[in-house]
């Protein structure tokens, strides 16, 4: 018998450095929880500052990592982008 929770998982394609990686998450997970998993799957070695990575959608709008996956109403296998923000020189 299938686990009902996993049946409700949201399947996404996260593009990291031009490489699309499939991820699934619980609708109640915060988007920010996907950062490290996406970087691992994309084989990004430097994960020293996870806060500098931002998610955007296909129109370039930054997605709030403190919102739940469900709150975005993502389509099945929707493509979102994970990019490193530029550092501030001071």
- pLDDT tens digits for range 43-62: 998 888 899 999 999 999 99
pLDDT at 1: 39
What is the residue extent of each domain of the chain?
A: 4-84
Question: Judging by DSSP bridges, how do beta strands 78-84 and 10-16 pair with one another?
Answer: parallel
Is 37's pLDDT higher than 80? Answer: yes
Q: Supply the pTM of this predicted model.
A: 0.84
Contact assessment for residue 30 and residue 68, using Cβ atoms and an 8 Å cutoff: yes
**Which region holds residue 34: left if phi is over 0, alpha if psi is between -120 and 50, else beta?**
alpha
Topology, domain 4-84: Ubiquitin-like (UB roll) (3.10.20)
């Amino acid at each position: 018998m299938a686990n009902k929770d996993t049946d409700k998982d949201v399947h996404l394609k996260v593009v990291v450095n031009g490489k699309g990686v499939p991820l699934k998450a619980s609708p109640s997970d915060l988007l920010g929880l996907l950062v490290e998993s996406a970087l691992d799957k994309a084989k990004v070695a430097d994960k020293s500052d996870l806060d500098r990575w931002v998610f955007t959608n296909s129109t370039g709008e930054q997605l709030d990592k403190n919102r739940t996956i469900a709150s975005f109403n993502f389509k099945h296998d929707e493509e979102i982008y994970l990019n490193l923000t530029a550092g501030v020189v001071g």
